[in-house]
């Protein structure tokens, strides 16, 4: 709204079309787009649809019947036929339109022409999404939505789902733990990893989930969220004590599932479960999300004795990643690099982390560690992230899909406040009780003294 007001102050939508247009478009793209850009672009799309499709090679030859009918009724030449289009639907960032593909066309033809379409219609970007066989959706985005991120008002969030960032096509990027249980987030220093973690923690804090942290930066990243954490380890020694407890918790959960499966030989199929989600609600253990910040610190060793501890921790992390999903235990691993050079187990652990988010990195090798096994283009996209845009990242998963995303700004104070107000939601997990972090008392603001000092005067 304030953007809109500023735009109107600049000269209003009509005046903005004149002298103030360039200023308004550059300064307040969202307001410009919703007040001026949308009608202009709709008219442009409607009036040029057929010719643009033809110029981009996205038309097909008319059917013989159509040619005959046209010849019989008019003497005009019959033009190639563009795909049938549905209604133009405005969005806050642009337009959406569905197209029915003509026989012989495929979504890849449109994706290949996206750049040409964007120039022809004068928009920031055009994205192509297959909806069902024979139908695609074109999403026209009017401006660079990742420059100043605003999350859409309506987002399909829910249990174990956190809308953590915005994609470049203006759709929310939702971290869904039940679909992608474990994730690896990489990025150079000051690239925005902590902001990403902050959003996840603040998003999960109000949900019935146990949050556990291993923060090898001596707790500086996760300590502000201490009121909502069930356990926090701030160095490798503490992590070495916490990890076996988590593995034991996971094994107990497997025993619980097994006990349920063995209730009676004739138990109906739908009551036999292979993960905690099949258990009755009152018996179901609370999900646990383990945040590991600066994972490389767990791998680094100085002495022979450290090496043994390291090997144990890595094995436990691999076990959690391998078996955790069914027990409702999820991993969120963060670091600057995570390659084979970290030693035994690193590649194996990385392979278990399905979700990948790569912020700005210092070299191609780091981007390859996160995205190399997803798509080569994703690696290139990650390498071209500018330092001036912290929070920008490339998100992918091992199925091969990827997109550019950016987190909105969330101050540490606001995230910590969310954790403080959700402190009552820390679930009861007796095994983790010894690892519960101390919650520092809030600094008390000094109240005004009851007796006001006044200068002693003679």
Ligand X SMILES: Nc1ncnc2c1ncn2[C@@H]1O[C@H](COP(=O)(O)OP(=O)(O)OP(=O)(O)O)[C@@H](O)[C@H]1O
Binding residues for ATP: 187-194
| 187 near ligand X, judged by CB under 6 A | yes
| 193 near ligand X, judged by CB under 6 A | yes
Among 406, 415, 418, 435, which residue sits at the site for ligand X (rule: CB under 6 A)? Answer: 406
| 407 near ligand X, judged by CB under 6 A | yes
Least distance (Å) between residue 358 CB and ligand X: 12
Least distance (Å) between residue 331 CB and ligand X: 18
Least distance (Å) between residue 421 CB and ligand X: 22
Among 391, 393, 418, 432, which residue sits at the site for ligand X (rule: CB under 6 A)? Answer: 391
Least distance (Å) between residue 357 CB and ligand X: 11
Percentage helix, strand, coil, to 5, in the chain?
A: 40, 20, 40
Among 192, 213, 227, 285, which residue sits at the site for ligand X (rule: CB under 6 A)? Answer: 192
| 194 near ligand X, judged by CB under 6 A | yes
> Which ranges of 324-411 would DSSP assign to H, the alpha helix?
346-352, 364-371, 376-383
Count the residues of the shown chain that bind ligand X, applying the rule CB under 6 A.
13
The interaxial angle of helices 412-421 and 193-204, nearest 10 deg, is 20
Tokens representing 291 are 């945040």
Least distance (Å) between residue 318 CB and ligand X: 24
CA distance linking residue 307 with residue 288, whole number of Å: 28
| 195 near ligand X, judged by CB under 6 A | yes
Q: Which lies closer to ligand X via its Cβ, residue 137 or residue 294? A: 294
Whether the CB-CB separation of 181 and 331 falls below 8 Å is answered with yes
Q: Which lies closer to ligand X via its Cβ, residue 26 or residue 190? A: 190
Tokens representing 177 are 């733990």
CA distance linking residue 315 with residue 310, whole number of Å: 9
158 CA to centre of own chain: 14
Q: Which lies closer to ligand X via its Cβ, residue 126 or residue 174? A: 174
Strands 210-215 and 288-293: parallel
Q: Which lies closer to ligand X via its Cβ, residue 148 or residue 319? A: 148
Among 67, 68, 190, 431, which residue sits at the site for ligand X (rule: CB under 6 A)? Answer: 190
CA distance linking residue 314 with residue 264, whole number of Å: 38
Helix (H) or strand (E) holding 318: helix 304-323
Q: What is the 8-class DSSP label of residue 8?
A: H
CA distance linking residue 233 with residue 191, whole number of Å: 24
Whether the CB-CB separation of 238 and 432 falls below 8 Å is answered with no
CA distance linking residue 255 with residue 258, whole number of Å: 5
| 409 near ligand X, judged by CB under 6 A | yes
Least distance (Å) between residue 445 CB and ligand X: 25
Least distance (Å) between residue 196 CB and ligand X: 7
Among 191, 207, 234, 418, which residue sits at the site for ligand X (rule: CB under 6 A)? Answer: 191
> Which ranges of 114-180 would DSSP assign to H, the alpha helix?
114-121
Least distance (Å) between residue 444 CB and ligand X: 28
Across the beta sheet with 94-100, the strand order is 84-90, 94-100, 135-141, 125-132
CA distance linking residue 168 with residue 143, whole number of Å: 10
Q: Which stretch binds ligand X (CB under 6 A): 35-43, 193-201, 244-252, 367-375?
A: 193-201
Name which of residues 351 to 390 contact ligand X (CB under 6 A): 390
Q: Which stretch binds ligand X (CB under 6 A): 132-140, 167-175, 401-409, 448-456?
A: 401-409
Length of the chain: 458
| 189 near ligand X, judged by CB under 6 A | yes
Q: Which stretch binds ligand X (CB under 6 A): 34-42, 70-78, 80-88, 192-200?
A: 192-200
Residues lying near ligand X in the complex (CB under 6 A) are found at 187, 189-195, 390-391, 406-407, 409
């Amino acid at each position: 709204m304030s953007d809109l007001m500023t735009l109107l102050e600049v000269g209003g939508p009509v005046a903005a079309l004149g002298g103030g247009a360039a200023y308004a478009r550059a300064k307040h793209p969202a307001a410009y787009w919703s007040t001026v850009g949308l009608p202009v672009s709709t008219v442009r799309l409607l009036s040029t649809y057929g010719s643009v499709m033809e110029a981009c090679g996205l038309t097909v030859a008319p059917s013989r019947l159509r040619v005959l009918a046209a010849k019989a009724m008019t003497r005009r030449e019959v033009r190639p036929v563009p795909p049938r289009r549905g209604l133009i639907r405005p969005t806050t960032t642009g337009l959406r339109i569905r197209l029915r593909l003509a026989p012989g066309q495929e979504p890849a033809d449109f994706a290949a022409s996206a750049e040409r379409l964007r120039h022809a219609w004068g928009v920031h970007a055009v994205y192509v999404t297959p909806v069902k066989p024979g139908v695609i959706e074109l999403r026209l985005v009017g401006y660079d939505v990742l420059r100043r991120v605003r999350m859409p008002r309506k987002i399909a969030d829910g249990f174990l789902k956190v809308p953590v960032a915005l994609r470049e096509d203006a759709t929310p990027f939702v971290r869904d733990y039940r679909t992608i249980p474990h994730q690896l987030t990489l990025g150079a220093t000051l690239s925005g990893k902590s902001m990403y973690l902050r959003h996840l923690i603040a998003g999960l804090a109000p949900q019935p989930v146990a949050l556990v942290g291993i923060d090898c930066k001596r707790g500086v990243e996760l300590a502000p969220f201490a009121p909502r954490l069930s356990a926090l380890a701030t160095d490798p020694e503490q992590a070495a004590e916490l990890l076996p407890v988590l593995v034991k918790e996971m094994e107990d959960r497997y025993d619980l599932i097994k006990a349920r499966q063995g209730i009676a030989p004739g138990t109906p199929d739908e009551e036999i479960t292979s993960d905690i989600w099949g258990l009755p609600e009152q018996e179901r253990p609370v999900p646990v999300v383990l945040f590991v910040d600066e994972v490389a610190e767990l791998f680094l060793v100085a002495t022979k004795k450290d090496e043994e501890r390291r090997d144990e921790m890595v094995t436990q992390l691999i076990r959690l990643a391998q078996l955790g999903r069914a027990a409702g235990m999820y991993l969120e691993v963060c670091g600057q690099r995570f390659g084979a050079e970290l030693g035994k187990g690193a590649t194996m652990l990385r392979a278990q982390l399905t979700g990948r988010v790569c912020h700005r990195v210092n070299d191609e090798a780091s981007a390859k560690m996160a995205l190399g096994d997803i798509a080569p283009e994703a690696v290139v996209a990650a390498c071209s992230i500018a330092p001036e845009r912290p929070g920008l990242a490339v998100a992918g998963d091992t199925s091969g899909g990827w997109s550019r995303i950016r987190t909105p700004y969330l101050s540490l104070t606001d995230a910590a406040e969310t954790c403080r107000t959700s402190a009552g939601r820390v679930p009861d997990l007796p095994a983790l009780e010894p690892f519960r972090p101390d919650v520092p008392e809030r600094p008390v603001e000094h109240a005004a003294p009851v007796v006001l000092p006044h200068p002693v005067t003679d």
